[in-house]
Amino acid sequence: MLKFIDLFAGIGGFRIAFENLGCQCVFSSEWNKFSQTTYEANFNHKPEGDITLIPTSEIPDHDILTAGFPCQPFSIAGVTKHNALGIRHGFEHPTQGTLFFEIVKIIKEKRPKAFILENVKNLQSHDKGKTFEVIKNVLSQDLNYHIHYQIFDARSLVPQNRKRIFIVGFDKAINFNFPELPDFKPRIRDILESEVDSKYTLTDHLWNYLQKYAEKHKEKGNGFGYGLVDLDGIARTLSARYYKDGAEILIPQVGQNPRRLTPRECARLMGFPETFIIPVSDNQAYRQFGNAVVPPVVEAIGKEIIKSLDNPVQVLVKPPLIINQLELSLVF
């Protein structure tokens, strides 16, 4: 049985996916106390706290590392020059002091067979592309992992636009292909509860405010405004700010103001199972699901990772071209 660890675990989206694939979670870490509560309610295990305070030596050996890590800018002073000369720079230089650095430390010491990392699709353009460049360099050059990355939109599995980038790495050059996600043609109406408390219906004050706000920005040529969904279509991306007013995903109602999604509907919108326990307040639940990964997407990718680990077909990789300073001076 393959063992995995669940970093920046949130409410356990990665864990659901990999346990569905027959893997065993041997460690998890999540600093938010409300997310810890939800995680413990569902897995009978409270995650460890702040990963920056946990010595790497105390983390169990594992085959797969999973993490939905926060996006932070890195210092890249000197990195471009070193790369041009073919000189491998120390991994601590560009990522020191970031939460990504904690992942790097664990990979460096534990050397898992594979890892899967998730982030918003804009990671590639974050800080004018510098952040993603550092991430690729650190994972492939400094840690010597063979990486693959791709943006997935969960809209074929759940009824919302949700694009996220996934980075997969292996400690050996083995054959791996990202999956083609099936299209289940999901619809918003399929995730709605039959009976919903009136507290989720927008007040006249809030509904009037949202309409005026949208009209004001429409006149300015901006696209800001509420998202009244087509029940036979899909929704906008559920975000952690949904608890504020629910404006991005509003459900139309006959003869009354639209309403927010309920926490259970948010769980369905994210692909969480019906058995998933929601022990926290509505506001906390909205934050948690808005920050979560979509378990069915992770499971589809995880299935291909496990397939590659079970049948490790070696791929021939050409060694990098190293140009020393003498050769460089001759070129120019």
Catalytic residues: 71
Residue 126's Cβ-count burial label (10 Å; 0-12, 13-18, 19+) is: middle
Positive or negative: CA dihedral 206, 211, 214, 217:
negative
Nearest Cα neighbor of 31 from 66, 7, 15, 14 is 7
Three-class SS state of 323: coil
Structure token digits, residue 211? 């309409």
Distance between CA 226 and CA 93 in Å, rounded? 43
Q: State the virtual CA torsion across 18, 24, 25, 26 in degrees, nearest 10.
A: -160
Inter-residue contact 28 to 88 (CB < 8 Å): no
CA 291 vs. chain centroid, Å, equals 8
